[in-house]
Amino acid sequence: MRIDALDQENVRSPFQRALRIVLRDKTGLIGVFLFGTVLFCAVFAAYIVPHSPIEQNLRISRQPPGWHEAGDWEYPLGTDNLGRDMLSRIIYGSRVSLTVGFFGVLIAMSIGMLLGLVAGYLGGTIDNVIMGVANLFLAIPYLLLVVVVAAVLGRSLINVILIFGFTNAPLFVRITRGEVLRIRKSGYVESAVSLGAKPGRIIFGHILPNLIGPLLTVATFEMSGMIFYEAGLGFLGLSVPPGIPSWGNMLAAGRQYIQFSPWIAAFPGLAIVFTSLGMNLLGDWLRDVLDPRMRRSAS
């Protein structure tokens, strides 16, 4: 009976397993829903916004949300200090956040995976040098590094992406290297080596496929982290130029009016919480699906 159950577990495809875990663990489903909503907003922003996100109308500036007695459902989340529709700006803001998060992680993961593979596989001096530099960057308070570099380079979307991509790479180097070392010690790699498999075959056939699970999980959490940090930079006036609707820029503007018009700061922050909640739930779920060693944590 017990052996049967184990067998069944093994014949399931990853897709079936994913489906089963989603159904068993409702939080994964919530994560998919939250993240899906944000992704939808980012992709179809131009078609779903009720108003222009940049057009100013000072006659209706700082109008409270629709449910407020002074509000108007024409602007469901109210308007900002320049009379721009909050809802439309939040929808457009998701584009900046997801772009920075996605490309930032892509760069960080590419650099980190490459260097981590080299360090973990070759070992020796190269390993020491790569890990020395990685640990060095991890020793500096991350936010400080990011803030200073952003201030030196100036406000632009490309700069922000590059900053996150490069400063986040050491984390991926460390994780990749750790996984490579673990996988190299495993029985199946040892037997492949003793059967005469060449390094290329071991790296591409054995190590890389096993790296994808853990790295993808970390990538989800890191992407959520970058969305956080981008908003933080925007809050300090160091992210994308002020004309672009981003959650951080909106927060920075809202801060000035916190006393009498708190919704201007409240809603972009809620959007960040919404997104990061989705990505964290998604990450937990991915870990359960992709990383068998962690699976018991789901129960």
**CB nearer to another protein: pick between 51 and 62:** 62
HSE-CB for 233 with a 13 A CA cutoff: 35
Q: How far is the CB of 120 from another protein (least distance, A)?
A: 20
Compare residues 54 and 266 and give the one whose CB is closer to another protein: 266
Please state the closest distance from residue 145 (CB atom) to another protein, in A: 8
What is the rounded distance in angstroms from the CA atom of residue 4 to the CA atom of residue 1?
A: 5
Residues that bind another protein (CB under 8 A): 132-133, 135-137, 139-145, 147-149, 151-153, 224, 228, 231-232, 235-238, 251, 254-255, 258-259, 262, 265-266, 268-269, 272-273, 276-277, 280-281, 297
Tell me which residue of 110, 109, 237, 96 sits closest to 158, measured CA to CA. Answer: 96
State whether residue 85 is helix, strand or coil. Answer: strand
Whether the Cβ atoms of residue 143 and residue 229 lie closer than 8 Å to each other: yes
CA distance 45 to 249: 18
Residue 26 or 198 with smaller CB distance to another protein: 26
Please, what is the minimum distance in Å from the beta carbon of residue 16 to another protein?
Answer: 27
Q: How far apart are CA 122 and CA 134, in angstroms?
A: 16
Q: What is the smallest separation between the CB atom of 223 and another protein, expressed in angstroms?
A: 13
Q: How near is the Cβ of 218 to another protein at its closest, in Å?
A: 14
**N- to C-terminal Cα separation, the chain:** 21
Shortest spacing between CB 136 and another protein, in angstroms: 4
Smaller CB separation from another protein, 32 or 149: 149
Nearer to another protein, 47 or 260 (CB): 260
Half-sphere exposure of 67 (CA within 13 A, CB side): 2
Backbone angles phi, psi at 170, to 5 degrees: -55, -35
Cα–Cα distance for residue pair 174/86, rounded to 1 Å: 41
DSSP 68: S
Complex with another protein: residue 189 or 214, whichever CB lies closer: 214
